[in-house]
Chain A
Amino acid sequence: MEAVVVDNVSKTFRIATDPSDSLKERILRFRRTNYEEFAALRPLDLTIDQGETVGVLGHNGSGKSTLLKCIAGILTPTAGEVRVRGRLASLLELGAGFHHDLTGRENVYMNASFYGMSRRDVDAVFDDIVGFAELAQFIDEPVKHYSSGMYVRLGFAVAVNLDPDVLLVDEVLAVGDEVFQAKCISRIKQFQDEGRTIIFVTHDVETVRQICQRAIVLDHGQMVIDAHPSKSIRVFREYLHAHSPIDDPSSITESPVLFTDVRVRHANERSRRHLLPGESFTVEIDLHAAAPVERPVLAIEVGDPNGTPIFRVDTEDLGTPLRHLDGDHTVHIHVRNVELLDGEYPLNLTLSDRATGRVFDWREGSHQFEVANPTRATGLVALDVSVESDVEVKVDVDVDVEAAPRSPTE
Chain B
Amino acid sequence: MSKRRTVLEHVRELASFRELLVNLTRKELTVRYQHSTLGFLWSMLQPVFLLVVYTAVFAILGAGFGKFSIWVLCGLLMWTFISTTLLTATTSITDNATLVGKVKFPRAVLPLASVAGALVHLGLQSIAFAGVLIVSRHSVDWAYMPLVPLAALTAALVVAGLAVIVAPMNVYARDTGHLLDLVVLGWFWATPILYQFERAATTLENNGLSRWLQMANPFTPVVITLQRAIYGSPTSIGDKRLVLLPDESVGWYAMWLVAISAIAVLVLAGALRFFDRAETNMAEAL
A residues near B (Cβ < 8 Å) are 13, 21-24, 26, 69, 72-77, 79, 81, 88, 90, 92-93, 96-97, 99, 101-102, 106, 109-110, 113-119
The answer to whether B99 touches A96, judged by C-beta atoms less than 8 angstroms apart, is yes
Could you list 20 A-B pairs, sorted by A, with CB under 8 Å?
A21-B173, A22-B173, A23-B173, A26-B172, A73-B104, A74-B100, A74-B283, A76-B281, A92-B103, A97-B102, A99-B27, A101-B30, A102-B27, A106-B26, A110-B23, A110-B27, A113-B17, A113-B22, A113-B23, A115-B105
Given the complex of chains A and B, what is the CA–CA distance between A73 and B5 in angstroms? 15
**Smallest CB separation, B35 vs chain A (Å):** 9
Measured in the bound complex, the distance between the Cα atoms of B99 and A102 in whole Å is 15
Kindly specify which of B71-79, B152-160, B174-182, B260-268 makes contact with the partner chain.
B174-182
In Å, the complex CA distance between A144 and B102 comes to 19
Closest Cβ of chain B: how far from A30's Cβ, in Å?
A: 12
Q: B2 CB to closest chain A CB, in angstroms?
A: 6
Q: Choose from A22, A69, A117 the contact partner of B283 (Cβ within 8 Å).
A: A69
Selected from A99, A109, A114, the residue in CB contact (under 8 A) with B105 is: A114
Question: Can you name the residue of chain B whose Cβ is closest to the Cβ of A122?
Answer: B19
Nearest opposing residue in chain A for B30, CB measure: A102
With known contacts A92-B103, A97-B102, A26–B173 Cβ distance under 8 A: yes
Task: Evaluate whether A118 and B19 lie within 8 angstroms (CB atoms) in the complex, with A96-B102, A99-B27, A106-B27 already known.
Answer: yes
B210 interface residue, CB < 8 Å from A? no
Q: Closest Cβ of chain B: how far from A64's Cβ, in Å?
A: 15
CA A109 – CA B22 in complex, angstroms?
11
Is the Cβ of A24 less than 8 Å from the Cβ of B175? yes
Interface size class of B (residues with CB under 8 A): 20 to 34
Tell whether A101 pairs with B31 under 8 Å between CB atoms, given A96-B99, A116-B19, A118-B19. yes
Q: Which residue of B lies closest to A69 (CB)?
A: B283
Chain B residues numbered 97-113 whose CB sits less than 8 Å from any CB in chain A? 98-105
Q: Determine the residue in chain A with the shortest Cβ distance to B20.
A: A113
Q: How far is the CA of A81 from the CA of B2 in the complex (A)?
A: 6
- Whole-angstrom CA separation of A23 from B280 in the bound complex: 20
B16 at the interface (CB under 8 A from A): yes
Which residue of chain B is the closest to A98 with respect to CB atoms?
Answer: B99
B61 within 8 Å of A (CB atoms): no
CB of A75 within 8 A of CB of B23, answer no
Cross-chain contact B284 with A116 (CB below 8 angstroms): no
The residue on A at minimum CB distance from B16 is A116
- Out of A21, A74, A116, which one reaches B102, CB within 8 Å? A74
Q: Please provide the 8 A-B residue pairs with the shortest distance between their CB atoms, ordered closest to farther.
A: A96-B102, A113-B20, A23-B173, A21-B174, A73-B104, A113-B19, A97-B103, A76-B280
Q: Kindly list chain A residues whose C-beta atoms are within 8 Å of the C-beta of B179.
A: 23
B6, CB-defined interface residue at 8 Å: no
Give Cα distance in the complex from A76 to B98, angstroms: 17
B34 contacts partner chain A, Cβ-Cβ < 8 Å = yes
Assess the B99–A97 pair: CB atoms within 8 A: yes
**How far apart are A227's CB and chain B's nearest CB, in angstroms?**
29
A92 near B2: Cβ-Cβ < 8 Å: no
Encoded as 1 (CB less than 8 Å from any A CB) or 0, chain B from 265 to 278 comes to: 00000000000000
Q: How far is the CB of B105 from chain A (nearest CB, A)?
A: 5
Q: How many A-B residue pairs have CB under 8 A?
A: 81
Chain A residue with Cβ nearest B285 = A21
B contact set with A: CB distance below 8 Å: 1-2, 16-17, 19-20, 22-24, 26-27, 30-31, 34, 98-105, 172-176, 179, 280-281, 283-284
A24, B178: Cα distance in complex, Å? 11
Q: For the complex, give the distance between the alpha carbons of A13 and B285 in Å.
A: 10
Q: In the complex, A114 Cα to B22 Cα: how many Å?
A: 11
Residue contact A114 to B173, C-beta cutoff 8 Å: no
- Contact between chains at B172 and A21 (CB < 8 Å): yes
Whether A96 and B103, one on each chain, are in contact in the complex, defined by CB atoms closer than 8 angstroms, is: yes
- The answer to whether A114 and B20 touch across the interface, beta carbons within 8 angstroms, is yes
Q: Which listed residue, B16, B99, B103, touches A90 by the CB 8 Å rule?
A: B103
Among residues of B, the one whose C-beta sits closest to the C-beta of A117 is: B19
Q: Find the B residue at minimum CB distance from A99.
A: B27
Residues of B within 8 A of A69 (CB): 283
How many Å from the CB of B12 to the closest CB on chain A?
A: 12
10 more A-B residue pairs beyond the given contacts A21-B172, A102-B31, A106-B26, with a C-beta to C-beta distance below 8 A: A21-B173, A23-B176, A75-B283, A76-B2, A92-B102, A96-B102, A97-B99, A110-B27, A116-B19, A116-B20
Task: Quote the shortest CB–CB distance from B169 to chain A (angstroms).
Answer: 9
Residues of B within 8 Å of A118, CB to CB, are 19
Shortest beta-carbon distance from B282 to chain A in Å: 9
Q: How far, in whole Å, are A154 and B232 apart by their CA atoms in the complex?
A: 55
Q: Which residue of A lies closest to B173 (CB)?
A: A23
* A114: contacting residue among B2, B103, B176, CB under 8 A: B103
Known: A23-B173, A79-B1. A99 touches B19 (CB 8 A): no
Closest chain B residue to A40, Cβ basis = B284
**Closest Cβ of chain B: how far from A129's Cβ, in Å?**
16
The residue that B284 contacts in the complex, of A13, A73, A119, with Cβ under 8 A, is A13
Cβ–Cβ < 8 Å partners of B19 in chain A: 113, 116-119
Contacts of A81 in B (CB 8 A): 2
